[in-house]
Each structure stands twice: as structure tokens, then as C-alpha cells.
Chain A
Amino acid sequence: MNRTFTLADLEALIDRCGSDPHDWPRGTADSVNALVARDDHARRLLETARALDADLGAIAAPAATDAALVGRVLQTVRERQRGDMTSLATLFTPVRMAAFAGAAVGCIALGATLGLVIDQTATQSYSQGEEVALLVLGVGEDGTGFGEGDSL
């Protein structure tokens, strides 16, 4: 026995497939026709769904591409590509390279100092070479900087 198509069925159908009978499952249109013929609510529901779909169709209608859009996209691509290359070039300017080199030397000096200080606190005895290094770096035997008049 066929179940009668109800208003709730129509609502579910419209929510799932829209209001266009071409998008409905085969055979559904007859059931909808019968319902719409006997039920004003169903008729209004279908009218509303149709009107809404028409509005959505108008809103979402794709526009043609104008030549200006193509031009703007190409211009953007060229600018961003140039920007990428420029940022790479500016990364390696002589001033930046010198700054990087200076920072690297500073890091090495700091590392050597810390290494010597830690070594000094651990053993408190130096070879002659280490003492010269400490003097050059300005670190006293107690691990602090040399004061005025300090000497080896």
C-alpha cells in the first residue's frame, strides 16, 4: 500500500532537492501534484520554495569575466613575483651580509668566553695559552672581568 504524501514529506523533499521537479526522485512529482491540489499550505510552501530558488538563481548567477579582471590578475601575479625576488635580493645586501658576519663572530666570541669561564670555575687552573686567551677576552682569574692594573 502506498503511503500518502504529506506536507512534511514535501518540506523534506524541498529541503533535500530544491523546488525543481527535475531534481526530484522519479515518480515524486505526481505525489506532489496530488498534495498541492488538495492542500493550500502545500501549494504555498511550493510557491515559496520556487520563488526562493529563482532569487537564489539570480543572486548566484555567474558573471562573465571582463578583460579588466584578467589584466588585474596578471598584474598582481607579476607584482607578487617581483616582490618575492626583491625580498630575496634584499635579504643578501652587503650591509646585511656584514651584519650577519659580525653577529656570527660575536656568537663565537661569546661561546669561547662562556666555555673558558665554565672551565675556569670547574678546574681553576689554566694552561699558558688559556691565560692569554682570558687576557685578550678581558676575563680575570676569578671568572670576572679584569680590574684596573690587573696583569698576568
Chain B
Amino acid sequence: MAASIDAVAGPLNRQSHPTTHVDTNAIEDGDAMLLARIGRGDERALAELVQRHGGRIRSLALRFTGSAADAEDIVQDTFWSVWRKAGRWDARGVKVLTWIYRIALNRCIDLDRRRKVRRAVGLDTVDDPVEPAPGAEHRAVVRDELKAVTADVKALPARQRAAILLASTGDVATTEIAARLGVSEGAAEQLLVRARRTLRQKKMERDAVGDGDRAR
């Protein structure tokens, strides 16, 4: 029997590929104007920029660090940097959002490095995996699987973790992921390949254990 790709696993996961058209140029123009106003000390412009992008920066930091408190700190630090550096910001072909992401990701990676050192010298304990995204709570199996994948993501090396989290939001190409991480496109692709391979292997191991348990 011939099985088509859609028949194999059902419809595509449209959650990660929103069909609504987003005018990225308009967003970028708006961001650039807001940044210019922030550079002149306009707090309302900062509030608007946070309103536009704060949620996604916080989500990324939360999934990256696994800690709501750390995510909050990263958001605060990121927008404090934006506030201080806005007046000196020079686009040079870099989008405002790319720049904000880069600041946030650098904070995430720095924090991760410090955590590793603290853990190595016994000053820090390993965090519990972060709770899965809202909306999945009603299904225990889904929640367990999401928890497991979240833990797998958290166990990835920092840059692979950042790359896969950016890619999984669904609206960014590898070029943009590379720009946000401050690496070449080839390097970003390699980070994604390694991350996907590791996560897939771990999932297959889990599935194999689950199948074995059910067979008994």
C-alpha cells in the first residue's frame, strides 16, 4: 500500500507555520523608528518595543534556561541594553529584531556558561525541566512527552539549543538564525543538523522503551 507523506503522520503541524501574512518590512520599519525614539530617551517607544517583542524574547529565554526567573532577568537585561545602546545603534543591514535576539541569546549563552561552572564547583543544583507550553495540560501523555522533549532540548549544547529553538518558532530561515546567533549560515545549519539528530535519536530511544513496556 502506498502511503503519502500526509497520510503517514496526518496534516502538517501548522502551529509552527502560521498562514497569516506578516509584513516583515513594515515591522522592521516600525522597530527602526521606535529604536530612534528610544535613542532620544523616549520611554513610551521602549514600552512599545517591549510590547512587540518582549513575549517572544521571554519565551525563548524560558525554553533556553528552563527557569522563569532567569528568563525574566534575561528580558530585563536585554531591554536595558537596548535602552542604553539605542542611541549608538547602527543598522548596517542588521534588523532591529535580529539585534535584540542576538543580545538575548548572548545573555542566555553567558548564563548557561556560568551555570555550568557553578554546577562544576557544586554551587548550583540542576533545575527541574520547565513546564510545557500552556494548552497541553489536559493531556497527560502529551505533557509527559513535551516534558521529555523539553528536557532533551535543555541538555543540548547552548548554541545547538538556541538554534533549534529559533528554528522551531517556524517563521525564521536559516539565514536569520545565523544572523541572530552571530555565526555563518553554514555553521547555523550544522548546529541545526546536530540538534535535530540528537533530539530524534533520544525520542526514538524513548519510543522503543515505551513499545517494550507495552509489549510486556
Footprint of B on A, CB under 8 Å? 11, 14-16, 18-22, 29, 32-33, 36-37, 43, 45-66, 69-70, 72-74, 76-78, 80
Contacts of B149 in A (CB 8 A): 52, 55-56, 59
* Most chain B beta-carbon contacts within 10 A, residue among A45, A51, A54, A63: A54
Chain B stretch 86-140: residues in CB contact (< 8 A) with chain A: 132-136
State the CA gap A37–B5 with chains docked (Å).
9
| B52 in contact (CB, < 8 A) | yes
Docked-complex contact B16 and A57, CB < 8 angstroms: yes
Chain B interface residue bracket vs A? 35 or more
Of the residues A14, A49, A58, A73, contact of B15 by C-beta under 8 Å: A58
Contacts of B168 in A (CB 8 A): 53, 56-57, 59-60
On whether A69 and B55 interact (CB within 8 A), knowing A46-B9, A47-B8, A52-B203, the answer reads yes
Output the nearest chain B residue to A67 by Cβ-Cβ distance: B51
Q: Could you list 11 A-B pairs, sorted by A, with CB under 8 Å?
A: A16-B192, A36-B5, A37-B2, A49-B196, A53-B16, A57-B15, A63-B56, A64-B55, A65-B53, A69-B55, A73-B47
Footprint of A on B, CB under 8 Å? 1-5, 8-10, 12-13, 15-17, 43, 46-47, 50-56, 58-60, 63, 72, 75-76, 79-80, 83, 132-136, 145-146, 149-150, 153, 164-170, 189, 192-193, 196-197, 199-200, 203-204, 207
State the CA gap A60–B10 with chains docked (Å).
21
Docked-complex contact B12 and A14, CB < 8 angstroms: no
Further pairs besides A18-B196, A21-B12, A57-B13: 16, Cβ < 8 Å: A11-B197, A16-B192, A22-B12, A33-B4, A37-B2, A46-B8, A56-B199, A58-B135, A62-B55, A62-B169, A63-B56, A65-B50, A69-B54, A76-B76, A76-B79, A77-B46
